[in-house]
Amino acid sequence: GVPVAGANHLTERYCYPTIQNSGFYGNQAVAGFTGLVNEYLSTNTYNTVGRVPMPFLKWVFSQFSALTGWSFVGQFWQDPALARLILYNLFSLDGLTQINANNHLPNLTFPNLLIDLRKLFNLYLEFDVRRKVCTMDFADDVLASADIVDWTDKAHPDHVKAPDLANRLELSYAIDSNDELLKPIPAPMDKYTTAETTINEGGSLTSIQSRISTLLTDPATGRAKTQQPGISPNNKESKNESSPRLLFWHGVVGGQPLATNKYGNRSLLWSGANNLVDQRYRRFEAFKGDTFTVTKLVYLTPADLAIFSFRKKVHIKGVNYVVGSMKSVLGHSQNVIPTEVVLWRC
What's this model's pTM, rounded to 2 decimal places? 0.94
- The pLDDT score that the predictor gives to residue 36 is 98
- The pLDDT score that the predictor gives to residue 5 is 87
- The pLDDT score that the predictor gives to residue 341 is 98
C-alpha distances out from residue 235 to 17, 33, 99, 145, 268, Å: 21, 12, 19, 52, 30
Asked if residues 228 and 179 have their Cβ atoms less than 8 Å apart, the reply is yes
Identity at 267, one-letter amino acid code:
S
- The pLDDT score that the predictor gives to residue 42 is 83
C-alpha distances out from residue 53 to 25, 181, 231, 290, Å: 17, 22, 12, 46
CA distance 17 to 245: 14
- The pLDDT score that the predictor gives to residue 237 is 61
Q: Nearest CA to 120 among 87, 156, 71, 154?
A: 87
* pLDDT < 50: residue spans in the chain: none
